[in-house]
Structure 1
Amino acid sequence: MAQPKIEKLEPSLSFVDIPEPTAKEIAEAKKSLRDITRAMAWPVHRWPIDRHICEYNTRVHLPRTYLCQKGGEDVRVVRRGTDVNQFIHRHYLNLLEMHKGGEDWVNYVHADQVVSRRHEYLGPDPRVAGYFFDSEGEIHIKWWDAFLKDQWMDGDKWSLNVMKDATGKWVVRD
């Protein structure tokens, strides 16, 4: 008796065949996730509600000005167990020492610069929308400015990339 021919199938993670999303579905998912991200972004001058605990020793990149245009950035060490949200809040609530630079930076909150805080140079309403971890595990802040309606990180603009996971749910892809 002849043996039946056995064909090898490519392994897959899902037992259900997920159809490719249309351009309209992708646009709707991107808008929905963008709106959620913006709604969850916390103002850097207010105490953060959520906790984001650092799982390992790393560094965080803290821009001095909007889009790092003139001031560059500060890089600070964050220890394991530190709440990154509180660390960032405390950093930007500190007063800016004018003798260390900043005379030509734009203060978006008030022009007299009598008592200038660091967050006032990031934009009119800077909010932390999330974090990006680079290949070395260092943290970069994703900013959302509610007044300017602008999303930026370091010296570039950022946008959400969405995709469907193995279960068919929309997720953000970095």
Structure 2
Amino acid sequence: MTAVLPADRARAQADFGEFVRMSLPGLLRYGHALTGNPHDAADLVQSVLEKVGARWGPLLRKDVEPIAYARRAMANAHISRWRRHRREHLVADLPDVVASAGVDRLDHEPLWQALRELPPRQRAVVVLRFYEGLSEQEIADSLGISPGTVKSQNSKAMASLRRRLGEPGSEGGESGGAG
């Protein structure tokens, strides 16, 4: 058994701190796009960063790309949470109306509403591709899926978004390809 030296531990903590400092804005944007609101995004990022921080040393020793690992963990955690909570919960009384200060400015944007309607994996692919600018291979690596799955999920998501947003040519299926 090898002892972890205090200097090694301090270096790993400093490396993780730098990773968080550099990655946090992008992870929060990604989380917001995944969850649909900034509060759930912050919770998602925090829970994932706690797990990443606990595994930081082994991740670096295995040459794992930390940002891809964090994105994949966020997508998986969001999908798991969505599966647990997707059932409708009926209540006897309607909740009090919340003041408009808590309203997200994007709530009434048609594209944002359509994006939130997508299944979690399709939403993750669209966000990583068009919001974060990742390649199909980078998305596949981040989500732990094949590049072919990235392509099919993106295609389904784009067709759904076109349909929901009423783009011309979206009726009767996609055009411009052999399928």
Q: TM-score, normalised by structure 2?
A: 0.26
Q: Which has the larger radius of gyration?
A: 1
The structure with more strand, counted as a fraction of residues: 1
The structure with more helix, counted as a fraction of residues: 2
Q: TM-score, normalised by structure 1?
A: 0.27
